[in-house]
Chains A and B, each alone.
Chain A
Amino acid sequence: EAQVTQNPRYLITVTGKKLTVTCSQNMNHEYMSWYRQDPGLGLRQIYYSMNVEVTDKGDVPEGYKVSRKEKRNFPLILESPSPNQTSLYFCASTVIGGDNEQFFGPGTRLTVL
């Protein structure tokens, strides 16, 4: 089954404690990205990757890091989380170009106390 998986689904942490949210896709997609969803703002792109070892900032990259060492995996790293990073996070993947649907993971609900 074609899918994007994310872990954990729910996470409560404290300010400053480093965390990683994993993302994996099994569709051999080149393009992967992370979005955060906040009420009234819709989803906004944090970082994206167009292929292995190729990553770039999206619209709201501050406080986040990513890596793309393998095509299927695209982890999101919060080195020192802060309360304003409390949000719902989505990983997504798609084929580059064309009119292709973006496949979303199930979401990770993060609370930073």
Chain B
Amino acid sequence: QKEVEQDPGPLSVPEGAIVSLNCTYSNSAFQYFMWYRQYSRKGPELLMYTYSSGNKEDGRFTAQVDKSSKYISLFIRDSQPSDSATYLCAMSARDSGAGSYQLTFGKGTKLSVIP
């Protein structure tokens, strides 16, 4: 079982729809949770981050973490064609061997918002 599971999609929605993107994880050592957005042929950019269970809102985006279920979500309200991208979840846990915190990424979900 991989540490982070993310449905690769593709996911296609009409403009204005609410989008739900999800990741599940198995390692209870993960403490910090992030969502990156990656446009085609570009590097990922950090979109949202959170380290506690519950919701965090930023404009049209809401990040949700449920540590008891090992489940995180990203909601996009009023989706726009410019939201069309691949969304990667990422989680941080201590690498005891290296003594530092490393990121583990999901495979990414490709989202298309149709005008």
Q: Do A and B bind each other?
A: no
Residues of B within 8 A of A (CB): none
Interfacial residues, chain A to chain B (CB-CB below 8 A): none
